[in-house]
Amino acid sequence: MADKSDKNEIAEPVVVDTQAGIFPKFRQLWNGGERRNAVNLANAEKVSEAEWAALLAEFPSIVEVINQ
């Protein structure tokens, strides 16, 4: 049986390379004013939770576009 303290441990941070993958194309679209297309790209690529966190850290207003 697992120890209850296991549930309270903090997971190791995941390193995301923001210079590879969809990030360069996302930046190009976002900075070019094509914000909806940038979000659509991220959704189409099925980015991980860690990658979404990295996108949110770099582009905080992404939430506004998603909620439109």
- Summarize pLDDT for 1-60 with one digit per residue, the tens: 455 555 667 778 889 999 999 999 999 999 999 999 999 999 999 999 999 999 999 999
Element (H or E) spanning 56, and its range? helix 49-58
Question: Two tokens at 8?
Answer: 């309270």
Are the C-beta atoms of 26 and 55 separated by less than 8 Å?
yes
- Hey, where are the domains in the chain? 17-66
Give pTM, 2 decimals.
0.78
